[in-house]
Amino acid sequence: VALVGIPVGIWALGFTAAGITAGSVAAKMMSVAAVANGGGVAAGSTVAVLQSVGATGLSLGAKIGLTSALGPLGAVVGAKLP
């Protein structure tokens, strides 16, 4: 669920393959980041990383990390269900 849900959530915020959607939460975040950085968005910032994920999806490393971290959690939750 996380491997699909996270990119979909990021896209819903306005971080898309075509760029940041005007009037979206992403646009507001980018504006705040640009003002704070004197007109640009810093590489590696939250806005930059979210736009990268929105444009290209999660990297293989991120998918492996999420699967490794969330797999055991899912097993614990599943074991507790009746």
Q: Are residues 10 and 25 in the same domain?
A: yes
Which amino acid, one-letter code, is at 61? G
Q: Are residues 27 and 52 in the same domain?
A: no
Domain that holds residue 15: 1-36
How many whole angstroms separate alpha carbon 6 and alpha carbon 53?
A: 9
Which amino acid, one-letter code, is at 37? N
Nearest to 9 by CA among 42, 58, 44: 58
Q: Please name the residues in contact with 76: beta carbons below 8 A apart, sequence gap of 6 or more.
A: none
Q: Are residues 51 and 30 in the same domain?
A: no
Residue-wise pLDDT for 1-53, tens only, equals 667 788 888 989 999 889 899 999 999 999 999 999 898 889 889 999 899 88
Number of domains comprising the chain: 2
Q: What are the distances in angstroms from CA 5 to CA 39, 42, 49, 79?
A: 31, 26, 17, 22
pTM of the model: 0.65
